[in-house]
Structure 1
Amino acid sequence: MPAVQNVHVDSVLSNVAVEYRNRKFIADGVCPMVLVPKKSDKYFVYDKKDRFTPAKTDRGPKDSANEVDWNVSQAEYSCNDKALKSFLPDSVVANSDMPLRPRTKTTETVTDLILLDREIRVKNFATTAANFGAAYKITLSGTSQLSDYDNSDPIGVIDTGKSACFYEPNTMILSKPGYDVLKRHPQLLDFVKGGATSSAPAQVTIDVMKEIFGVEHIHIGAAKYNTANKKQAASFSYVWPKSIVLAYIDPNAELEGVSWSKSFVWKQMAAPQGYKVRTWRDEDRGGGGEVIEVETSIVEKAVCSDMAYLISEAFG
C-alpha cells in the first residue's frame, strides 16, 4: 500500500473524470446525485398527508386561527465505496506519440468502467419488479405488448402508469430497442402523418414522443456491455431491458427534495460531480510507473416509492 504522503488527489485528472461521460449512460438522469457530508446518516421523509389534507381556514373576529401541524419520519442511507485503478508504466508514456494522452485515456477508461458498473446497478434498481409496490407495476404479455402494432395501446398503458403515481411522472425511461419499436407504432405515427411524403416519411422523434406521452424527459438506455466471461469471446447486449419506467425525478435533486430516486454521494470520496482521481508512484512494476485510481462512495435509493411505475416486458 502506498504511504499516505505519496498519494495525490489529482485535480486535473479528477476534472477529466467529472467531465468525461459516456453519452450512452443514463444513470445520472434516472438516479440523480446528491452530495452528502457523511458516509452514512439519516434524512427526513415528510408525511404527505400534512400538505394534502384540507384544513378549515375560516377565522371569526375574536377567534384564533386553526392550528395545523406537520410531521416527518427518518430514513437512512449508507454509501458504498467504489473504485478501480490502472497502472501506467513510464515506458508507455515515454513512447507515446501525439495525440495519444496516456494519463487522460487511462483516466477515461477507468471512469468508463466505474460508470458502466453504476449503469448496471441503476438498471437493476429501476427495473426489478420487487422494488415496486403492487399498485405501481404491470407486466405486459401477448397482444398487450407494445410491439404488437395491431392490438396494443401504448398511450393507454402510459396514461394508466402516470395516473397510478402520486406525482405525475415527468420522466420516461426505456431501452434503445424499446424506443426503436415504440417510435414506429401506428398509434404514435398517426400524430405526425400530416404532410408526410414518400421522400419525407413521418417520424416520431424524441420531442414528439415527449409531447404525445406528456413527459418532460425521455432517457433512452443505449449502453451495451459484454456478457461473456473474461476468457470467452465477447458477447454484447444492451444494459437496459425491454421495460418502461415512468417516474417523477427532480432535475435539481437535493437532500430534502421530492424525487422518486436519489444517489447519495459522500463528499469525502468525490469531486463536486461524484468522482475523485488519486495517483501514486509504483517503482516495483515495469521499471516504474504511475497508478491512477478513480473512486467514489455512493448508494442509490428510492426515496419516494409512490412516484414511479414499472411496465415490465413492454416489448416482445
Structure 2
Amino acid sequence: MTTLTPSPLIDRPRAVAAEGVDAGVAAHYGDPGREQRLLTEGLAVVDLSHRGVIAVTGSDRLRWLHSLTSQHLSDLAPRTSAESLILTPKGHIEHVLHVVDDGETTWLTVEPGTSAEAAAWLDSMRFMLDVAVADVTESWAVLGEPIGREGGEGEPVSWVDPWPGPVGDTAPYGPVDAHPGADWAWRETLVPRAELDAAVGDRELAGTWALEALRVHAWRPRFHLETDHRTIAHEVDWLRTAVHLHKGCYRGQETIARVHNLGRPPRRIVSLHLDGSGHLLPEAGSPLFVEGGTRPVGQLTSVARHHEEGPIALAVIKRNTDPGATLRIPTPSGDVTAAQTVIVAP
C-alpha cells in the first residue's frame, strides 16, 4: 500500500480531516452543504491527492492495456478518457482504472492506497512488449473538478468521468433515460504534487463529504465501497461505462459474458432514501433487513446527506429482495428505515 503524507490543503482554514478510505485529505471546510452547492454550480475543486497515479509508457501501452482489462483501449485517442476494470479470473472486480492518454503516456488513477498493488500486477504482465509501468503517486496528485471536458493543449492532462454513459458496445443494467447521473460532470486533473497548493490557488475548496453526496445521488459506484471480493460488474451497473462486450479476450471476460447472456447477477445495487428524523446517519457496512425480517438481505455501502434530498445511501442487496419492501437498518440509537429506488432490476 502506498502511504502518503497528508495533503498541504488540509492546512487550509476550517479544514476537517477525512477518515477511512479518504484519510489524508479534507472531509469538509466547515460547511458541507454549501460545498455541495458550489460543486453543482461548477465553482469549487476537491482535493483528491490521496488517489493513486500510475504512468504507463512505451509504444505497445494501449494495445497491452486493451488485452488485460475490460474496456476497448487499443485505439484510444490522446486526451480521450475511458474507464476500465481489472478482473480476477472469476470475473470479480480487482481494480478500477481511470484512463487517459496524452500521446506519449497513458495515465491511470486508482483508489487511495491501491496504486502499488495495481502497478505491481500490471508490471508482472509486461512480458516482451515495449511497455513500462511506474507508480508515480509520490510525484503526481489529483484535483477533482465539476467539469465535463478533457484539458486542451497547454492544459494539464485530465480524466473525464464517462458516467452514466452508456459508453460504446455495452449494456446498462440500470435506467438509460431519466438517470439521476445525467447531470453528473466530473474530471480528475493531474498536477505535480509539489505544485498542488499553487494549482488550487484562491479557488473555493469542497471536501470529500460534498463529493460523496453528489456521487451517491448520481448512483455512481465506487471501488471498495460498493464492491467487495465477490462483486461482479453487473451487480453495480458498472458495465455501462467500464466494459466493452465484444472486444478480445481478457481475464474475467467469461464471467462478464456468461452472466450477461445467460443469467442475472446474484446481487443488485439499490438507491435508498433514509428516514431523516434522527440526527445520526447509519454507518456504511451496516446490515439491511426487510422490515419485519430477521435475516440480512444486504449491506449499506455508502451514506451521505444531500443538500436537497436529505439522507441518502447506496446499498447492495440480494437480487430477489422485494423492490417495494421497506428496509430496516439497526443502529445503536434505534432502527432507521429506508425506501428503495431500483437501479439494477431484480
TM above 0.5, yes or no, is no
TM-score range, shorter chain: under 0.3
Q: Determine which structure has more spread, i.e. the larger CA radius of gyration.
A: 1
Q: Which has the higher contact order (CA 8 A, sep 6+)?
A: 1
> Structure 1-normalised TM-score?
0.22
